Structure 1
Amino acid sequence: MNQFPTSEDDSEVPTPGCFWENSPPEDSQLERFLRQHAPAPPVAASHLEADLIQRIITASPTPQQRWRWYSVWVVSPLMAASLLIAWAGDRWLRPTPASTTEVVRLEAFLETSWDGVVYGGSDF
């Protein structure tokens, strides 16, 4: 079942706008040769497509495929999130250095409160 004409006097006229319209004569000889000697495509078995579709539908993933899905879509984002939390937590939980005026005020408060507790001169 060859879909191309096989006669030597190929009288088929190409449609306007085709790429072979302005081809040199040796190309037409090549085209004629290829059309004449083109092999027929193999006959397809009608049940192969249905068998393939049925196998795809009924195929279940193996445990290795399930683990691969789990590791790619669950473990990887969890690892990235934990690294981000560790990095951000280190920055957020690091105490900011106190300024010298805050240190002086804190020392004064501790001295007065200690003196008030030990000597009883304050209402603390």
Structure 2
Amino acid sequence: MIVLLIICAVVGIRDNIVFIPILQIALSGQFIAELLYLFNFILKLDQLFTEFKAFFEEENKKKYYIKQRAFLFFINYETILVYNKAPLDDATYKKIRDKLNNDWEDFKKRYGIN
């Protein structure tokens, strides 16, 4: 996709009737694809977080079951991150990192996670 944009830029698209529509289609297609990847990523993280909360709200858990589920949550989270194709903005994360860390600490205290 990027190669197509570079080629169009090198050829010169300013007054070219053929390349302008190609460039517009390429840019809009790339935007839509990245948006879909982002929505998919958010949906999967939300599902995992819902499972995580439901598990720790459960009263009767056996110790061996807790370790198994914790490992499964970890594997599922890492899998979601690995297969994520959405671009993540590092600047945005840096802005909200402290709030996220505080929320995580509060969550651990509330549910008794060490």
- Return the TM-score normalized by structure 2: 0.31
Structure 1 or 2: more helix by fraction:
2
- Return the TM-score normalized by structure 1: 0.29
Q: Max radius of gyration: which structure?
A: 1
